[in-house]
A and B are shown apart, each in its own frame.
Chain A
Amino acid sequence: MRTLHRKLLRDLWRMRLQALAIGLVIGSGIAVFIMMLGAMASLEATRDAYYAQSRFGQLFVHAERVPAAVGEALERIDGVVAAETRITGFATLTFADFVEPVTARLVSVPERGGPVLDRLVIRQGRGLAPDGRDEALVNEAFAEAHALRPGDRILANINGRQRRLSVVGIALSPEFVYAIPPGALLPDDRRFGVLWLSRSTLEAAFDLEGAFNDAVLFLAPAADPEAVRAAVDRLLEPYGGLGAYDRSIQVSAFFVDNEIRQLRTLAAVLPSVFLVVGAFLLQAMCRRMVDTEREQIGVLKAFGYADRTIATHYLTLALLIGLLGVVLGLLAGSWTAGRITELYTQFFRFPLLRYRLEPWVYAVATALGLLAAVLGAWRAVRAAGRLPPAQAMRPPPPPAYRRRGVLGLAVRGILDQPTLMLLRHLLRWPLRSGLAILGIAAALALLLAAMQWRDATAYLVQKEFFEARRMDFTVGFFDPLAPAVVPQMARLPGVLRVEPRRSLAVRFRNGNRVKRGSITGLAPQGRLRRVIDVEKGPVLPDDQGVLLSRTLAAILGVGRGGRIIVETLEDRRRSVELPVSGLFSTYLGIPAYASIALVDRLSGIGDRVGGVDLTIDPARRNAFFRALRESPEVAAVASREARIRAFETTMAETIDIVVAFYVAFALLLTFGTVFNTGRIALSERGRELASLRLLGYSALEASYVLVGELVLMALLALPLGLALGWLLAVWIIATVDNELFRMPLVVFPTTMAWALLAVMAAALVTALALARRVFRLDLVAVLKSRE
């Protein structure tokens, strides 16, 4: 059998380019699989280990002011293992070398021993000293962005009082793996940080001596989370409890989980596109091979080789090609998975996030690659095994071309003979041509679906940060203030326009559908924050009802004109039935809007302003920033421009890299499909093409028969690819449909043009490379050999 193996290896070597092309397609599938699933598995394993180690809570709750004693009652709730009570809030920070406003989230740490839940990992320096007044720990990303080191000092405005904090350590927390400013989607580490201060410091700062306003709970494995949540809510109701929520919507945990979920769904679908196309290519190649080697097969059988041996021979060949794909895929996949995981470290701050080679991922990838090879080769292998030797020894009848309807009659005299030849060849093997077209279409679809991300993000930024929001800055106050703050803000240097805003934490109720959220009250003639109704365009909130975002309305099962019950969770608690005066679409969160007057009425404590939106004169930016620092009531500042820039940076640094990988793989798919189809066509038509040359056609004219067919296939694939790309994009977009954000489905014409061009160019280059072989055909050999 050794000699048969030698034949195998020589055949493989002779067809190395074709084998490589198929190997690359299968390898791309494996690489994408490993890239997604490998990154997913690393992320998931890291997450699980870290959450367990740091005892990350499962239930979170915020309240107004809860007496310390209630904390013990929390621990006594059935199913609660431990409760960590604490004080959280916001502060604005001042840096000498960074003029823009910086917002910090503050979290208290017990005086002794550090937190029991959501434990911190100290990366540099030390933890807070037991009497560590004015000592602070800062989160690592923020420390890196501002080059903070233990010993540095930060000036903070906490609840109206300036404090000089000294950084003693740099820390990581499971609550802030993904640390984003409130209401943002992306981190902005220069403008947002997390500070851990001692409990006593924050008690004093927020006038919460002997009390807390935030709690984290750790549940027993057997606990019923719903029951615990209800108990917590009942317990904290009198103290302004805002309703407990679980880890699935804890912001940081949500984004980590969302990423893992998305990687997993993509890993289930995208690689199969490559593997299926790879299997089809292999099938065409093996078929052709068995056809050309039918006499060899006949001889082998005549000399006593068993059918099974012959079948195994071809199966081995296919498996070797599959193996080539697997090896290429494992290498490329490991590398890209490493790069992708590295990208995640820019967003996700785990104590240790490194790409880890998960053996099961590699095992599954290998199995998938070989399975694709076996399935692809199966029919040809079976045909080789079953080929009756006597028949194999006789030359196959010439392929039966037909003058199909259109080609037979209508076009006679219009099309030249070479064109007729290429069309007939295309139609002679409709299945193979169809699959080749499908392969190219799949490449285009992938390209579109990947490139679509840029457009979707750009569109989201356009809609949300240019059309719906027009303020330069959004300012939040420590406590709701009297309306007089508005003219006061307007007097700050550089301020052009100020609009008040007030948010109220509420529970929406429609029958038995309940959703926690908030209503934001907007200024009567507001222009800086626009609510855009899908049907009516921009709408002004009125005093009678609420405007609901579509996602929220869908959760509540209510439409425009319907009625919902609003239970306020702050100030005077009350329950009011309100009409839904309109619906609007937004990609961010599940907001609800009303006029500020209505919100004031709902709150029951009179007119208040929780924050303002404002525009400024860019020339006086720095003066405005300085004045803002001296405004004690300012707890948080968000810059619209910075949010836009965060999108752009993320785009440039991460999405583009991922998209580049996909573009590369999609182009490989195009190349693999076109090369194989062309190679097979060339092998089938070598004689014909050489005969054309003998009849006086130039090599260029003869190669037209080949190139023309391939280009025609690519052209036919374009509309199909656009349609498939659209479907794929719809599906991918649907995987990011959640309460925190959604993605729009848009493909800009330029993107479409680039994708079409890229696929056509890849197809054309491959076809032309093959055409060179037409120039090298040995005309004499063709005359001698018989087909």
Chain B
Amino acid sequence: MKADIGQPPLLSVRGLGKTYRVGEIEIHALRGVDLQVAAGELLVLLGPSGSGKTTFLNILGTLDLPSSGRILFRGRELTDLDERARTHFRRHHLGFVFQFFNLMPSLTARENVALVTEIATRPMAPEEALQMVGLGHRLDHFPAQLSGGEQQRVAIARAIAKRPELLLCDEPTGALDSATGIVVLEALRQTSREIGATTLIVTHNAAIAAMADRVVRFADGRVVSVTRNPQPVEPAALSW
């Protein structure tokens, strides 16, 4: 547990709401979410499909704008940023991992990572990042030549290579079988720890919650509970 008393939280979310309008219908994806995240924490956001987890993560990542509420990152208002500033914020502070990996099919593993390191300020070498996820031997393979788990590890390498402060992962194991999923989570846990990134993992898989410092439960666009894990386990010990 690293959230020391007195130190301001890395991330502070207040009353976050998001309403989608589809024709006549209004969909309340988020209905007022409050959350504080301390630097270096690993959070698992747990909730059934459709509960608003992805929406929440996207807004944190400035990929989407909230309908109401505020987000403070190191005390800075994220919701007020213009497009330029949002791009800058993502470029220098954020790492993303997606459910479907979202690698560039036309680029090799190394190039997929380089795509991000090239525009970062103090990145590690793409090779180093791939080494960290155990893919040092797969540098020049194209996504189509990699298994799902390997692709997701490339995505993790891509996300951590720029040493982001905040790592946002949306269902990183959602498209993988459990054994592969665990390997991926190990890579994620180890690398995020190594670079000291604050990490948010969104999942509907309750088994993953055990590796978190804190577990945030979502339902129907709200945070229904936040529980602290006294003893987070290593991903290798998980099973589902």
Contact = CB atoms under 8 A, between A and B. Distances in A.
Interface stretch (A66-74, A97-105, A303-311, A476-484): A303-311
A305 B119 contact: yes
B111 A6 contact: yes
B173 to A, nearest CB: 16
Interface residues of B, number: 32
A296 B104 contact: yes
B107 A299 contact: no
Interface string A304-343: 1111000000000000000000000000000000000000
Interface stretch (A201-209, A217-225, A237-245, A388-396): A388-396
User: Interface residue tally of chain A, by bracket?
Assistant: 20 to 34
B61 interface: yes
B118 interface: yes
Contact of B98 (A1, A300, A391, A393): A393
Contacts of A391: 64
Given A7-B104, A11-B106, A304 B63 contact: no
Interface stretch (B36-44, B85-93, B192-200, B210-218): B85-93
Nearest to B118: A3
A219 B59 CA distance: 81
B68 interface: no
Given A7-B115, A295-B100, A302 B107 contact: no
Interface in B56-79: 58-59, 61, 63-64
A10 B107 contact: yes
Nearest to A786: B100
A652 interface: no
Given A14-B106, A307-B87, A302 B114 contact: no
Q: Per DSSP, are chain A's interface residues mostly helix, strand or loop, or mixed?
A: helix
Contact of B118 (A2, A302, A389): A2
A388 B64 CA distance: 7
Nearest to A14: B106
Nearest to B158: A303
Contacts of A4: 115, 118
B91 A303 contact: yes
Contacts of A65: none
Nearest to B117: A3
Contact of B88 (A295, A304, A389): A304
A610 interface: no
Contact of A301 (B90, B98, B158): B90
Contacts of A298: 63, 102
B130 interface: no
Nearest to B126: A3
A304 B118 contact: no
A786 B61 CA distance: 24
A302 B87 CA distance: 8
B157 to A, nearest CB: 13
Contacts of B106: 6-7, 10-11, 14
B119 A302 contact: no
Interface string A14-26: 1000000000000
A1 B63 contact: no
A702 B210 CA distance: 49
B21 interface: no
Nearest to B18: A390
Contacts of A300: 115
A303 B115 contact: yes
Nearest to B57: A390
A303 B107 contact: no
B83 interface: yes
Contacts of A6: 106-107, 111
A1 B107 contact: no
B209 interface: no
B64 A390 contact: yes
A390 B118 contact: no
A304 B119 contact: yes
Given A2-B118, A302-B96, A304-B119, A390 B83 contact: no
A300 B107 CA distance: 13
A295 B102 contact: yes
B115 A393 contact: no
B154 interface: no
B137 interface: no
B156 to A, nearest CB: 13
A195 B74 CA distance: 98
A393 B58 contact: yes
A6 B112 CA distance: 10
Interface of B: 55, 58-59, 61, 63-64, 83-84, 87-92, 94-96, 98, 100, 102, 104, 106-107, 111-112, 114-116, 118-120, 158
7 contacts: A11-B106, A300-B115, A302-B96, A303-B115, A303-B158, A305-B91, A306-B84
For the complex of A and B, the 10 pairs showing the least CB-CB separation, nearest first, are A304-B91, A390-B64, A10-B106, A389-B63, A390-B63, A390-B58, A304-B90, A3-B115, A299-B102, A3-B114
Given A3-B112, A390-B58, 9 more contacts: A1-B118, A1-B119, A3-B114, A4-B118, A10-B106, A302-B61, A302-B90, A302-B94, A305-B87
Interface of A: 1-4, 6-7, 10-11, 14, 295-296, 298-307, 388-391, 393, 786
